[in-house]
Amino acid sequence: MEEISPGLENVYIKYTDLTFIDGNKGIMRYRGYDVNELAEKSSFEEASYLLLFGNIPSKEELKDFKNKISENLALPPYIHEIIKNAPENADALGIMQTALSALSETYINYQWKRDNDLKLIPKILGNTLSIVSNIYRIKNKLPIKDPVFDKNYATTFLKACFDKDVGEERSMAMDSALILYMDHEIPASTTSAIVTASTLSDMYSSLTSAIAALRGPLHGGAAESAYKQFEEIGYPDNVETWFNKNILQGKKRLVGFGHRVYRTYDPRLKTFKKYADELAETENQKKMLEIAKKLEGLGVKNFGSKGIYTNTDFYSGLVFNEIGFPLYMFTTLFGLSRISGILAHIMEYVETQERLIRPRAIYKGPGEKKYMQVD
């Protein structure tokens, strides 16, 4: 008998050389390199180059890659207008989705060739940095402006948002976050991009599909939901009462716990938790961190034996907030981080498989009926 796989769980749609995950042992690597080591020692540009080109860049290759990104930070005026004219209450990720979709308008009959793809990628990375920084600016009633490249991708992004240097530690935390969220095999957003790319649509349209999927709270919105959970608890002394009343009684889901892939701690959690500890300065940030740690302890105590542990979204929102971003930007920062990984996957799919993704459905409706015309 034919059966479906709900949520496409354990359905494999491609071979990949990009990201290796062992969910039982808590291992995650980009092309063989441990993600936490890359987050500590590498940079967003190096890790992006690794995924996209297949190797850690030489000094000259890295310089050239950075230069090409910096040459593409200026957005076309019509994209400025799209961002500027977004409704005041517009979803930040929705604005990003609209801007990427608008950029796809000039790519009619895009030719998928590796040379074309690799030339377009720095342009996309530069465009996306400018889109997201200007979304933050417009939301904070700051004038639209094209960023100026400074040191690296993360520092350029933060200066473009805040008009100031936020310090080396926060820049390093942002760089690490961009690397840790860069890829995660093929979750919903990357799958959406691959489906679009399999039709031989263009890169910007494929990214638009990914961002649309990322907007859902079960995927990209998890960091926002976890942070809202801490806000709802309010104070560290409330954690146990809230947990017993809401989680143990099944009234709510413990956000930031459990994962479709992992049966142990999410390996990316280690670095996010480290930065959450190091960057907490204000009383509110320290309070939220204490709430998170107490809640994590209860979660592991009650659910760890079932293979349900803390995932990366549990602490990433705290880090984004400590860097200086409000809640409504968390998912958009995730979107910015994921661009290189999505591009690497769609290139890999089109170059190696180039097969239209067209699944089937098992029909469960009524049998044949005769049409009776309405009198």
**147 within 8 A of 133, measured Cβ to Cβ:** yes
Per DSSP, what are the bridge partners of residue 33?
A: 30
Note if the pTM is more than 0.75.
Answer: yes
Q: Among 361, 353, 288, which residue's Cα sits nearest to residue 327?
A: 288
DSSP, res 22: E
Determine whether 115 is an active site residue.
Answer: no
pLDDT of residue 217: 76
Determine whether 184 is an active site residue.
Answer: no
Residue whose token pair is 């017993």: 244
Q: Does domain 12-217+328-352 have CATH number 1.10.580.10?
A: yes
Q: Select which of 80, 184, 259, 345 is catalytic.
A: 259
Query: Under DSSP, is residue 19 helix (H, G, I), strand (E, B) or coil?
Result: strand
DSSP, res 366: -
Domain ranges of the chain: 12-217+328-352, 222-323
Which residues of the chain are under the pLDDT cut of 50? none
Residue whose token pair is 């690296």: 152
Q: Select which of 175, 183, 266, 313 is catalytic.
A: 313
* Residue 205, token pair as written in the block: 């349209």
Task: State which fold the 222-323 domain adopts.
Answer: Cytochrome p450-Terp; domain 2 (1.10.230)
| HSE toward the beta carbon, residue 129, CA cutoff 13 A | 32
101-118, pLDDT tens digit by residue? 999 987 877 888 888 888
